Amino acid sequence: MRRLAYTVISLAWPAAGWAAELPVTSRVDAVTVFPRGAEVSRVAKVKIEKGMHTVVLSDVPADADPSSIRVEGLATGKLEIGSVDSRRLMVPSTDVTLAASERRRLEDEIQILRDQRSSAEAQLQAAETQKSLISNLSQLPTRPAPSQGTERGEDWTQILTTIATGSLEAQRNASDALVKMRALDRQIEDLEKKLAALSPAEEERTEVKVHLEALAPVDADLVVRYQVPGASWSPLYDARLTTGDKTAAPTLSLVRRAEIRQNSGEGWDNAALTLSTTRPNASAAIPPLNTITVDFEQPPPPPPRPMAAAPMSDDASLRRKEEGERNVAMAELAAAPPQAVEAQQASVVASPFQAMFAVPGRSSVPNTNEAKRVQLLVEKIEPQLGIKTVPSADPKAFLYATLLVPAGTPLLPGPVALFRDGTFVGTGDLPILSPGEKHELGFGADDLIRVKHALVEEKRGETGLISTSRTDVRMFKITVKNLHERPMAVTVLDHMPVSHNADIKVEPIGRTTPTKTDVDDKRGVLAWDLKIDADEEAVVDFGYRVVWPSAKTITYR
């Protein structure tokens, strides 16, 4: 097939030269979903005779961005696109032909049910007549006695039996008829509601008119592309850690998933989905910055003097007072330096990266804004395991895995479900990470690492002969034992006071020197990196001395 020329909205040819309009239907074939918004591709199969034609598509959603509408395609011969027009209009929400057929079917069913109800009603009337006749039969014993010389030939045993069986049968027939009538009434009511719902309802749509010229009869597949705002996708992750053993190295499987939502006004049925990290609706340039000036604050102008002549009424005095306060407030506002306007930042920052994820196979996403989750890919990573513990706050040790982001596409921010040796241990969050970056993930408490924290010395006293100072000395002992079958890297974290006054001196003491100080740019936070062999124990001895003038009192916060 020959590819049609790509076109933008234009009015190249006069509309008077076009032939009759040719309405066609299209289907959603492919969707590219962005973190905010989506680009939809609809395909319409048409047969074009020689000459000029106008193809009309009325199934594009109302929220389609008119400036994003583009038309292209493939044809079996020479076919040119002259212009593409679009407008919003109201169209029937259902197919008119199908609605008429469904209406006729429902009306026929209702008529059949009504005929059945008439039969049940006739059965009820017959049962009521039978009950009336049996009631008359039961009055025979009350008739006057026959005249002398005539014999009364009633068989009362037979009459009583007939009354009993006839009454039971008549009552049963009446009950069956009533039950049948109630069931038929419910069915008729349900069908009448469905019939009322088939009333011609309308909804807003975007109509796209494609003006074409064919040099010969051709078959063509027209592709209409447009962007809609009511769609989004966000990343999800599963981090599955296998800790290994003395002979097997640990492994980590990072499963990338995506959560897709859309309420664009149309359903995406059996469509090819592609997830993109680009943001076509985001700002394309940096925000402007205004000049910031600084100046001395100007004193407010003096309030106006009250007029000495003609004493003012209470209302006039109140208005004058409010006016003076308003002038003072406006003067203070004018004297305040201007502040730069800050632009709101999007929750997903992916501007440095452009990645595309093609979802395997075809998928359907309903127009309900319900979440649809799909799996994108699985990456195998060799992590570095380590232990971290803060024994002064929590005596447990926690297992961490350091992962190196593999080459390829970046990791976008999103929640991550954590599994350790097949067991779900919690959730975390991944920041935006580029290929080659490292990141730590916690995988819960490690019961094979035993940690103890003890205060071994606490002394307070004074020093000096002339200028006395007060001291506070505290010593701690941290014991870490490794019960694993292999050596483990353990990081012990603790902290010591930080002085905010030049007269207060804080000195670290202890035999174990910390590996890092001011960890994560937090003053006073210390870290000791230990390598502990299997079934071995390591000890951290540390402490601090605080010295300050005896005439003052300190406080720890």
Domain edges within the chain: 2-93+202-229, 97-140+160-197, 233-280+350-445, 449-549
pLDDT at 304 over 90: no
Half-sphere exposure of 114 (CA within 13 A, CB side): 9
Q: Report angle CA 368, 373, 376 to the nearest 5 degrees.
A: 140
Confidence of residue 102 (pLDDT cuts 50, 70, 90): confident
pTM: 0.61
Q: What mean pLDDT comes out for the span 38-54?
A: 93
User: Phi, psi at residue 249, to the nearest 5°?
Assistant: -75, 150
Mean pLDDT of the chain: 82
pLDDT at 144 over 80: no
Cα 6 to Cα 80: distance, rounded to the nearest angstrom: 10
Confidence of residue 423 (pLDDT cuts 50, 70, 90): very high
User: Phi, psi at residue 117, to the nearest 5°?
Assistant: -65, -40
Q: What mean pLDDT comes out for the span 34-48?
A: 94
Cα 14 to Cα 469: distance, rounded to the nearest angstrom: 98
Q: Give the single-character DSSP code of 494.
A: E
Q: Are 19 and 51 in contact (CB under 8 A)?
A: yes
More confident residue, 227 or 139: 227
Sign of CA dihedral 174, 180, 185, 188: negative
Predicted local confidence at residue 397, as pLDDT: 95
pLDDT at 8 over 60: no
Predicted local confidence at residue 6, as pLDDT: 40
3-state secondary structure of 535: coil
Confidence of residue 13 (pLDDT cuts 50, 70, 90): very low
The secondary structure of 157-223 as a DSSP string is HHHHHHHHHHHHHHHHHHHHHHHHHHHHHHHHHHHHHHHHHTS--EEEEEEEEEEEEESS-EEEEEE
Q: What mean pLDDT comes out for the span 69-74?
A: 93
Predicted local confidence at residue 169, as pLDDT: 82
What proportion of the chain, given as a percentage, has pLDDT over 90? 48
Q: How far is CA 282 from CA 33, 186, 208, 287, 349, in A?
A: 14, 55, 26, 12, 10
Predicted local confidence at residue 160, as pLDDT: 63
Half-sphere exposure of 173 (CA within 13 A, CB side): 19
pLDDT at 532 over 80: yes
Predicted local confidence at residue 171, as pLDDT: 83
pLDDT at 7 over 50: no
Cα 335 to Cα 297: distance, rounded to the nearest angstrom: 6
pLDDT at 233 over 90: yes
Cα 419 to Cα 417: distance, rounded to the nearest angstrom: 7
Q: Are 476 and 515 in contact (CB under 8 A)?
A: no
Helices (H), 456-497: none
Predicted local confidence at residue 341, as pLDDT: 30
Cα 381 to Cα 430: distance, rounded to the nearest angstrom: 15
The gap between the terminal CA atoms of the chain, to the nearest Å, is: 77
Predicted local confidence at residue 91, as pLDDT: 73
- CATH architecture of the domain with residue range 449-549: Sandwich (2.60)
